[in-house]
Structure 1
Amino acid sequence: MKHTLYALTAALALLLTGCGGEPQREAELPGAVTVENINVENYFELGANVETFDRIPERVVIIGANESELLMDLGVTHGVIAAVPSQNNPTFGIKECNRAVFDSFPPMKRSEVNAEHLLALNPDLIVAQQEFFSKNRLGSTAYWNGKGVHTMVPLNTTAPGKLNAVETIAREMKFVRDMGAVFRRDAAAEKIVADTYARIDLIREKARDVEKPKVMILDLMSSIVASYGRDKIAGDMAAAIGGDVPHTSAAVGTENIMEENPDVVFVVTYDEKEQEVEKIRENPAFRHLGFIQNNRLYPIPLKFVYGPQIRTIDAVGYMANRMYPGLFDFAVEYDFGVR
Structure 2
Amino acid sequence: MIKNIRVENYFDLGSNTQIFSAVPQRVLVIGASQTEALLDLGVGDSIAYAVKYEDNEDFPIKKSNQPVFEKLHFIPRQEITMENILRLHPDLIVSEESWYSKNKLGSTDYWNRRGIHTMVSLNTTSPSKANKPETVEKEMQYVHDLGQIFHKEEQANKIVNDTMNRFYFVSDKTKGQKKPKIMILDLLSTTISYGKNKIAGDIASHLGADVPDTTAAVSDEYIMKENPDVVFVVTYGDEKSRLQSIANKKAFQHLSFIRNHRLYPIPLKYAYGPITRTIDSAGYMAERIYPGQFHFSKEYDFQP
| Matched residue, 1:257 | 223
Letter in 2 for 1:309: I
Identify if the C-alpha distance between structure 1 residues 335 and 272 changes in structure 2 by more than 3 Å, giving closer, same or farther.
farther
Amino acid at match of 2:195: G
Matched, 1:289 2:255: yes
Establish whether residue 77 from structure 1 lines up as the match of residue 37 from structure 2.
Answer: no
Alignment correspondent of 1:302: 268
- Counterpart in the other structure of 1:329: 295
- Alpha-carbon distance, 1:247 to partner: 0.2
Q: Does 1:318 align with 2:264?
A: no
Shift of 1:224: 1.7
Structure 1 partner of 2:95: 128
Alignment partners' CA distance in 2, 1:189 and 1:79: 16
1:59 to 10, 16, 26: 26
Superposed CA deviations along residues 135-172 of structure 1, whole A, max 9, x for unmatched, are 11110111111111100000000000012411000000
The answer on whether the counterparts of 2:143 and 2:156 sit within 8 Å (CA) in structure 1 is yes
* Aligned-residue offset at 1:285: 1.3
Distance (Å, rounded) in 2 between the aligned partners of 1:164 and 1:85: 31
- On the 8 A contact 1:64/1:88 being kept in 2, the answer is no
Question: Where does residue 42 of structure 1 map in the other structure?
Answer: 9
Over 3 Å counting, the alpha-carbon distance change for 1:105 and 1:177 in structure 2 is: same
- 2:149 and 2:213 map into 1 onto residues whose CA distance is 35
Paired residue for 2:135? 168
The answer on 1:211 being equivalent to 2:178 is yes
The DSSP-based 3-state class of the residue aligned with 2:28 is: strand
TM-score between the two structures when normalised by the length of structure 1: 0.88
Q: Separation in 1 of the partners of 2:13 and 2:32?
A: 25
Q: Does the CA contact (< 8 Å) of 2:122 and 2:139 recur in 1?
A: yes
Cα distance in 1 for residues equivalent to 2:241 and 2:105: 31
1:184 aligns with 2:151: yes
Counterpart of 2:291 in structure 1: which amino acid?
P
Gaps of 5+ in 1: 1-33
> Is 1:142 aligned to 2:109, yes or no?
yes
Alignment RMSD: 1.0
- Quote the residue 2:123 is aligned against: 156
Displacement of 1:88 after TM fit?
3.8
Structure 2 residue aligned with 1:198: 165
Q: Which residue of 2 aligns with 1:114?
A: 81
Give, in whole Å, the separation in 1 of the partners of 2:185 and 2:266: 10
1:226 paired residue among 180, 184, 192: 192
Which residue number in structure 1 is paired with residue 71 of structure 2?
104
TM-score, length basis structure 2: 0.98
CA apart distance, 1:231: 0.5
Contact 2:7–2:107 (Cα < 8 Å) also in 1: yes
Unaligned runs of 5+ in 2: none
More contact order relative to length (CA 8 Å, sep ≥ 6):
1
Distance in 1, Cα, partners of 2:110 & 2:287: 43
Cα deviation, residue 78, structure 1: 0.8
Amino acid at match of 2:219: G
CA distance in 2, matches of 1:115, 1:164: 29
Inter-partner Cα distance in structure 2 for 1:194 and 1:124: 29
